[in-house]
Structure 1
């Protein structure tokens, strides 16, 4: 997130979200001042200015707010809206930019819930307090305190000063909040920590949410097919020798993003997705689209799906209430669910590794990159690979490097771990800032391993060849979320799909270089 200050004049929200309700402050000498107004006092105060924007508010933020209103149990129960989600996002973005563990986001969001109800309030209702953290004037200028990035960073600076050697990572969350804020009501923070965790998890899932668009080559129809969430409906566009077709409304509600995979067992193109907390499937054969198939309930985030040639099964992995879980389909039909005994944050990614005939699942577990893998001998234990991870990793087999490679967001930096005949190597910091999660794909046109990602709203690429890593390549601006990428053998092109201001958009690379952007229609 940009650290440029003085954005207040461009940041006013057009309508006030409501009345400022709290102040807790840093100065111990004033700790006796109440940090909440009573209902009667609140009704008597008229907000002079509307709340200040924290960031963009659109379909993603509003959808997240609706989901959170079904699970929050504390102060913001049934009170989340797109604006509040954007403020949580701004706090989380700054924590990630600082390279701090996700627990720092939970601590900061807990504080903002109590202090401002996740509103960037410019009205000095209690003394000189303003902003998300209701910081008094001894913290900084009004412009600084109303800059979500600056205010969050100031909060983090004090937390780190008070808790050296990362002691905040194990200290009680409510205690940490109170030590930074010095409130007259210290018991109010701990009661909001569970909701802060839910908000941070939901924002992280949505920011990484797997790919905004799931792109796959369908060998049966010889078409490049793109599946995406268009305003909450699963939608398809596909390209064949006669050009682009669609959009095709597939008539089913979708939460988040889909994943699509070709299943050689039944010559079907299968799409898996979260629909209101349910794992569901739609599949295409030459006879047409199936009805919606319900597979499981209690699902969080986006599933991962892969064909496993070693077991001759189509395997689907997902987050079931914080536990990595599997459903798989073989000649005997659907099997499972199978709980795999590992805690998961967000969404998993699965890949078949031809080097060891293993099916490997990578995921974020409480800020750690971890792996579970299956061989014909059964499932492995959970393997710890790295810490300080944000979002969902991307995993791919690189035939040119003869390695299984995993890319992830480590505190805002694109980072790699890879496995070859000598075991795990890395982590390798690739020197590029990343927002959200990456997507990696092998490009047979140039024997390159290509990684695409969002870097501060820009679509960028890093690629590896046997000569080493490229510089960062800028491809497009105005990007939201995580891109999807796929090699299209019918078009002999590497194709990248992304959300550009609510429009599904394509960039593609072939023998003559990069082409596009090509707008393909509305995206959710």
Structure 2
């Protein structure tokens, strides 16, 4: 895959700022591919992973992460979806700990094995084996075939894992069974109720062409009362989206190239510089960002008024690296909002009409075309959208 160079804007580096959470663009052909997503990383997964690191004793001792927890959840969800009891999920999670340390790995490091269960080509297609639900069901199908009439429930967990996997190292499974049970127990524990959002972060492009930030805490009714210079030059549009407790700001530079900068509101630190979003887009005139889970979806209008889309998975640190042409002609303003896992895009047309287009990130499908919003909106010059429960 093509390596996308990142161009830095001319900035003044904020004193004391730490490095941003790393976003890795597609690497050179010889580089390892990044792990595939296992699904949404929940807001409480960092806390759950930290608590598990206090009790895990096997291969994942002090190594549980929110991403690995999301992979265990995908296995458990697929197991429970077919009506199998917890013991089946423990068997499958035990196997995935041994085979992949709960990482959905697309690299053929051991012959042609890939995925959570390191299944070989004979199991299914490359993409099937990298689909957590499909690969889990393939594993379980083989388990119930080898142990009819639920006889797998009375056999030692490590023995069942080995029967399905046929590993050259059969003794490696049973020692991980206790950790698999601990992980499943942690997934079953309801997360604490989320703290209602009360802090608002406002960014502007100043007269100097750079970005400036101020914050408000609506729980206390207090603003910081200052605008902090965050660097950049000749910026001409801004948008932002949030994953977890990290705000991702996106800006258009003077030539319509797209840049990003992060603020981690758990640590209170901003990234030290601006980085270009992979894909080498140029000529953007408007921009909007939204988030579903740990994924950020970025839309821009090109020089001809056509919308283009690119996505980032902040769980794995990977951008798609391409800007997909999503159609439209003469569009001149843009906004997005999200309901559940569907992003709704709204755009102002050349005559001020308002159009909409959807992307369902549960299915990965976009609606077929642009539809005009009912009611007539001719003459519109700016647009924004938001959601409430």
Class of the TM-score when normalised by the shorter of the 2 chains: 0.3 to 0.5
Asked which structure has the greater RCO (Cα within 8 Å, sep 6+), the reply is: 2
Q: What is the TM-score normalised by the length of structure 1?
A: 0.33
Q: What is the TM-score normalised by the length of structure 2?
A: 0.44
Greater share of strand residues, 1 or 2?
Answer: 1
